[in-house]
Amino acid sequence: MDKILVGLKRVVDYNVRVRVKSDGSGVETDGVKMSINPFDEIALEEALRIRDRGEAREVVVVSIGPSDAQQQLRTGLAMGADRAILVETSSAPDPLTGARILLEMVNREKPDLVILGKQAIDNDNSQTGQMLAALWGRPQATFASKLALDGTKATVTREVDSGLELLEVDLPAVVTVDLRMNEPRYVKLPDIMKAKKKPLDQIALASLGISTGAVASVTAFEPPQQRQKGVMVSDVAGLVAAMKDKGLL
Amino acid sequence: MVKVLVIAEHDGKRLNASTAKCVACAAAIPGADIHVAVLGENGERVAREATSLAGISKVIQIDNAANAYPVAAVLAPQIAKLAAAYTHILGPSTTFGRDLMPRVAALLNVNQISDIMQVLGSHTFKRPIYAGNAIVTVEAPAGHPVVGTVRMASYRGVDNTGKAATERASIGVELPKHTRFISLQAGKSDRPDLQTASRVVSGGRALGSSENFGIIFRLADAIGAAVGASRAAVDAGFVPNEMQVGQTGKIIAPELYIAIGISGAIQHLTGIKDARTIVAINKDGDAPIFEVADFGLVGDLFKLVPELEQALKS
Ligand SMILES: Cc1cc2nc3c(=O)[nH]c(=O)nc-3n(C[C@H](O)[C@H](O)[C@H](O)COP(=O)(O)OP(=O)(O)OC[C@H]3O[C@@H](n4cnc5c(N)ncnc54)[C@H](O)[C@@H]3O)c2cc1C
């Protein structure tokens, strides 16, 4: 195949414990470490492996977000992507707008395969890949843990609630990946240097002429209900007694 | 008029427990008239089961050979067509609904409200973000259909005292052939279902091997519990993926959750926040799991778990 398009979203690093601001106006993101959404990193790793096996010619990474998302695209280039595109927006758009933007990138780049993360760990929406596939009128294979290409088709193993599902899709298609698909490589210093020379195009959202439709608005943020730390028991007998006391057994 | 269409999840034979939970969420929308759509190859048996869901007024049975196995690209255009008569379309936040509903939403030109945990009004909902570290109130735009998935751990299914009628419908819409279901490799188990069990025993990386995981199964059997696992235990191949509990596994709300040799990473805790009681056994007294456990026991699981099994059996 010729080309694989991969989406990279800039999100708060998964190790950061996100907190709601005390005035309830949002979550605290000032000075917080930002990274590539972990699922997207796996998507990119898979695309790179396909290319490095000789099954694709080029891997293009796309991010939609603020100018700072260039950092994540540079990391993607350092991992091995050939080119990067940043569609610059003031903040990350809603999933439907994101899917429309990706569709525009698909129309320009004409990839044979789009690989995205199954969800972004900030808003946990898990919508963008499915929406892109719908708007594009192409197959979707979500929550994938294995991807095998065969000419004009792909066979995808999906992690579903009841086990593992095998789905066959015609290409081009959208695949969204789950965590067990692969383990992303670490970038080495020379790769970071090399990545600086790779092309990174910036496109202003306004130039795409995409209208953002009716968007759900967030009207309040609150911290989740905290569980209280309970009691420590000293042995099995104590544990059984405590559970019996609470009517659990 | 608030008209809610709930998309039934089923395996061709039986209704999944997720559907009764979606109906419970739908019933919380003020003034809702609730219909349930059963899309299948021959959905008669499932549709009949659905008629007893309390609070619904109709079951719509849509039979089509293409619906033999749920493929999102095939189901979505049918649901989008049906949706014209409804103000709300709800599905479960299971892998079935999470795959399908955003595709429906895109066809209807709206964003989806994912993981609804509370209904505040016909267009106002609460949902978790950042792995449950924040809860947001979202307002869906007026004048557009609301498409949502229902967070399973937030609802108790409605009971089966209903007596709705079934209506058969056929939907004239072209269905794509570009996506083909090949097979489902489903774990077979006589144990209770992880997603609906009232008791769950989970094991983590500390178990060390799939043979050792046997002690988790034996403890679970002693108290009639379902078995879960941390991601580390699944990644290491001790148990299959469908047993993973957490942000990227199953989000569950049992009466009793026993976490054994699990450290309590935020992504794991996301999956058990709504458990009524959490019990933890870990050799590290500083493990984060103890911050949320109602009862904690520090020690070696290989000694304590068999002891606990004996104590609970007798
Ligand atoms: C995007 C993302 C999504 C994720 N989603 C999930 C998810 O859905 N579910 C999930 O579980 N994780 C998830 N994770 C992984 C998560 O961050 C942790 O890595 C994982 O939960 C750790 O599993 P664990 O507790 O079994 O292993 P560890 O963290 O290694 O903990 C093992 C524990 O066992 C204890 N122990 C060791 N030996 C013994 C013994 N003999 N007796 C008693 N105790 C012992 C140790 O003290 C330790 O606390 C996700 C991570 C990312 C980045």
Amino acid at A180: R
| pLDDT at site A226 | 87
Min CA distance, A212 vs chain B (Å)? 10
Q: Which protein residue has the closest C-alpha to ligand 1 atom 4? A: B267
Is pLDDT at B139 greater than 90 in this prediction?
A: yes
Query: pTM score, two decimals?
Result: 0.96
pLDDT tens for B153-172 read 999 999 999 999 999 999 99
Residue from B61, B9, B5, B2 nearest B196 by CA: B9
Average pLDDT, chain B: 96
| pLDDT at site B152 | 95
| pLDDT at site A100 | 97
The ligand 1 atom nearest the CA atom of B203: 26
> What would the mean pLDDT of B98-111 be, rounded to a whole number?
97
Q: Which protein residue has the closest C-alpha to ligand 1 atom 47? A: B284
| pLDDT at site A211 | 78
Residue from B251, B64, B267, B70 nearest B170 by CA: B64
Domain A3-223 belongs to what topology? Answer: Rossmann fold (3.40.50)
- Angle of helix A128-136 versus helix A95-109 axis, rounded to 10: 50
Averaged pLDDT, groups of 10, chain A, 249 residues long: 97 93 91 97 98 98 97 98 96 93 98 98 96 98 97 97 96 97 95 96 94 84 91 97 93
Q: Can you tell me the ipTM of this complex?
A: 0.96
Scan residues 199-238 of A and list those with Cβ closer than 8 Å to B. Answer: 213-224, 227, 229-238
Asked whether B236 lines ligand 1 (CB < 6 A), one says: no
Contact B140 A216 (CB under 8 A): yes
Distance B229 CA to ligand 1 centre (A): 9
pLDDT tens for B263-298 read 999 999 999 999 999 999 999 999 999 999 999 999
Burial (Cβ within 10 Å: 0-12, 13-18, ≥19) of residue A52 = exposed
| pLDDT at site B188 | 78
| Cα separations in angstroms, B229 against B194, B208, B245, B251, B265 | 10, 12, 6, 12, 13
pLDDT tens for B221-271 read 999 999 999 999 999 999 999 999 999 899 999 999 999 999 999 999 999
Spans of all domains in chain A: 3-223
- Report how far residue B18's alpha carbon sits from residue B70's, in angstroms, rounded to the nearest whole number: 15
Q: Which protein residue has the closest C-alpha to ligand 1 atom 29? A: B263
Contact A224 B134 (CB under 8 A): yes
Distance B10 CA to ligand 1 centre (A): 32
**Do the beta carbons of residue A174 and residue A158 sit within 8 Å?**
no
Q: Please, what are the domains in chain B?
A: 2-169 (3.40.50.620), 199-313 (3.40.50.1220)
- Report how far residue A136's alpha carbon sits from residue B10's, in angstroms, rounded to the nearest whole number: 28
Asked whether B71 lines ligand 1 (CB < 6 A), one says: no
Is pLDDT at B189 greater than 90 in this prediction?
A: no
| pLDDT at site A14 | 92
- Report how far residue A233's alpha carbon sits from residue A131's, in angstroms, rounded to the nearest whole number: 50
In testing the pocket of ligand 1, which one of B252, B267, B284 has its CB within 8 Å of the most ligand atoms? B267
Query: Positive or negative CA dihedral for A171, A172, A176, A182?
Result: positive
Min CA distance, A144 vs chain B (Å)? 11
- Report how far residue A42's alpha carbon sits from residue A125's, in angstroms, rounded to the nearest whole number: 18
**Do the beta carbons of residue B35 and residue B60 sit within 8 Å?**
yes
Contact A180 B234 (CB under 8 A): yes
| Cα separations in angstroms, A204 against A21, B218, B291 | 30, 59, 46
| pLDDT at site B187 | 80
